[in-house]
Structure 1
């Protein structure tokens, strides 16, 4: 959260995501995009598509969708996609309780990876820079009561892997190896490095 003594740095960047989590994460490092776009793309994985390839493809698809939606000239576009994966199995976001239950039973008591690809494009030159990262998350073994109580909370809806690390599910996570902000929805170090590469922030 930004304190009253701080002022957000408004960047000439369109964010190709209406995710409140990503907006909040950018605010955490004192950044506010000048425009926010809700992109609508097909997020169905391709046959035998690996998680890293999947998030990279979707991040670029969101970038292209944002270009067509922009009604004003914005120098830069930031796009990102995040997915949880158990091995090579992609755990898509869902609003279906039964699917979420399958995801959580699969993650219970084991390690999984959270993959994110972040893309920053300079609209005038067409230059595109990408950072892809993954974080290893260790879940505790969930009891039946923990599982059903979490499902009742509806916190899992439309979350990668059917859980939110910044919410109740934080009590299920034994360890995180890598970027915590990546698990929430945007790896802040890598995102900041992209901004620095274009001279947008110090």
Structure 2
């Protein structure tokens, strides 16, 4: 992986985004809201940006794409388009005449290898020897997801999109982190499902909560596993 090179003003760029733009986060995720608040230098209770969740159905089929990265990127792009179209007529409508900056993201967990049976329809969506795990839709599916992850590595991919519609500017990228679960007993997996902590999380666990107990190691950016790759966001922001 190529090394990232940041200019000296990368921090000032991030800290002035909220004064330069009317920032809109196209996600209802508390985790993304918290991380973006930190990057913009504001508190979660009084953020300098708006939260306008995308209504995109997230019903794309991973098997229709050449890679899981392409799949998650397209899902993120659809979320971005949904919000851009909804705010298209209000790009400079605030008191300071700031252009709108829309931020959208989508996170998936990808399991590769022999543990993914070709006829296994539970716990995620199939793609050529891979299983893409989004949010569990039931406790049964949640447990199936954790069984797939148990004692094995998987990849967390987050697509990040940034757009300034009035300037026809669109930036994007996909961050990847490899996570390895510890060997956990069936009782431990069931107990985690019962906490309800991660019923709204891709892959069925939250590394920043009790789910961190299940994780043995990670390679890559921690914030990407949480759902908002701050390093990638900083990279993209340099081009604004």
Match of residue 4 from structure 1? none
Moved more, 141-150 or 9-18: 9-18
Give the match for residue 5 of structure 2. Answer: none
Instruction: Find the counterpart in structure 1 of residue 78 from structure 2.
Output: 61
CA distance in structure 2 between the aligned counterparts of 1:101 and 1:47, rounded to whole angstroms: 21
Residue 153 of structure 1, aligned match among 195, 201, 205: 195
Q: Aligned partners of 1:54 and 1:42: how far apart in 2? A: 14
Residue ranges of structure 2 left out of the alignment (5+ in a row): 1-14, 92-98, 113-129
1:33–1:115 CA distance, 2 compared to 1 (3 A)? farther
Offset of residue 41 of structure 1? 1.0
Shift, 1:44, TM fit: 2.1
Match of 2:219? 177
1:37 counterpart residue number: 52
The correspondence for 1:82, drawn from 103, 107, 113, is 107
TM-score with structure 1 setting the length:
0.88
Cα distance change of structure 1 residues 76 and 47 upon mapping to structure 2, 3 Å threshold: closer
* Residues 47 and 134 of structure 1, relative CA distance in 2, 3 Å threshold: closer
SS at match of 2:151: coil
Question: Gaps spanning 5+ residues in structure 1: where?
Answer: 1-7
Aligned to 2:205: 163
Query: 1:1-150 to 2 correspondence within 5 Å?
Result: 11=18, 12=21, 13-29=23-39, 30=41, 32-46=47-61, 48=63, 49=65, 50-70=67-87, 72-73=90-91, 74-87=99-112, 88-150=130-192
Native 8 Å contact 1:14 1:33 kept in 2: no
Larger gyration radius, structure 1 or structure 2: 2
- Which structure: greater strand fraction? 1
Q: Is the contact made by 1:10 and 1:34 (CA closer than 8 Å) also made in structure 2? A: no
| Deviation sequence 1:156-179 (CA, Å, 0-9, x none) | 211010100111010111110000
In angstroms, what is the RMSD of aligned CA positions? 1.7
